[in-house]
């Protein structure tokens, strides 16, 4: 399975974020899956990619032609795909992925994972989605999603494929066993 992982190119202020990225990367690599991610060598991006590589897995980096991002390019990946823009990068990552995970990250991470949620709610793609909830990082986003449903701007089935969890075993089961 190709698993797109969205996350920060910085590490954030909690060592638990990096630990979760490494655990997820190790699981991806040890279980024969391929990581699809933003191609950076720093922060959580670098941690998850490094852990996949260390575990013997494959890593596909998708990196846009943006100077600040190019400066953080991870060398030694299985494959590096360069795109002309951030929009092309998002599109390519979605095209390549069978499942989607958001580790903690900033606005870019939120943009990417909510686009995937939107596409799934419209049945444009069908895939499991995970909000890797390290130290309750995604609890506020879950409250927003619940509010979308409560205010009747969305239906529960729009989010039936979304798991909020910090338990790697539960996450692995969701990624492997969700039927759509």
Q: What is the pLDDT of residue 180?
A: 35
Quote the strand ranges of 66-150, DSSP E.
Answer: 79-83, 99-102, 129-132
Write out pLDDT tens, residues 60-83.
999 998 888 888 889 889 999 999
Cα separation, 43 vs 132, in Å, equals 16
Q: Are residues 142 and 113 in contact, defined by beta-carbon separation less than 8 angstroms? A: no
User: For residue 103, which phi and psi values (nearest 5 degrees)?
Assistant: -80, 175
Residue from 43, 125, 62 nearest 25 by CA: 43
6-40 pLDDT, tens digit per residue, is: 999 999 999 999 999 999 999 999 999 999 999 99
Provide the token pair at 33: 């899956």
Tell me, what's the pLDDT at 70? 83
Can you give the pLDDT at residue 67?
Answer: 84
Number of helices (H), then strands (E), in the chain:
7, 7
* pTM higher than 0.85: yes
pLDDT of residue 71: 85
């Amino acid at each position: 399975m190709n698993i797109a992982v969205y996350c920060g190119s910085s590490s954030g202020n909690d060592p638990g974020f990096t630990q979760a990225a490494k655990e997820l990367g190790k699981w991806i690599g040890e279980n024969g899956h391929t990581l699809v991610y933003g191609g950076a060598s720093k922060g959580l991006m670098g941690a998850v990619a490094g852990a996949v590589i260390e575990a013997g897995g494959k890593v596909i980096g998708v990196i846009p032609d943006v100077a600040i991002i190019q400066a953080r390019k991870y060398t030694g990946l299985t494959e590096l795909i360069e795109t002309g823009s951030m929009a092309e990068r998002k599109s390519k990552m979605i095209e390549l992925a069978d499942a989607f995970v958001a580790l903690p990250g900033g606005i870019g991470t939120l943009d990417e994972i909510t686009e995937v949620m939107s596409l799934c709610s419209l049945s444009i793609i069908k895939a499991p989605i995970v909000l890797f909830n390290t130290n309750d990082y995604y609890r506020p986003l879950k409250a927003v999603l619940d509010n979308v449903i409560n205010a009747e701007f969305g239906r529960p089935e729009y989010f039936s494929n979304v798991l909020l969890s910090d338990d790697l075993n539960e996450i692995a089961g969701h990624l492997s066993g969700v039927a759509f």
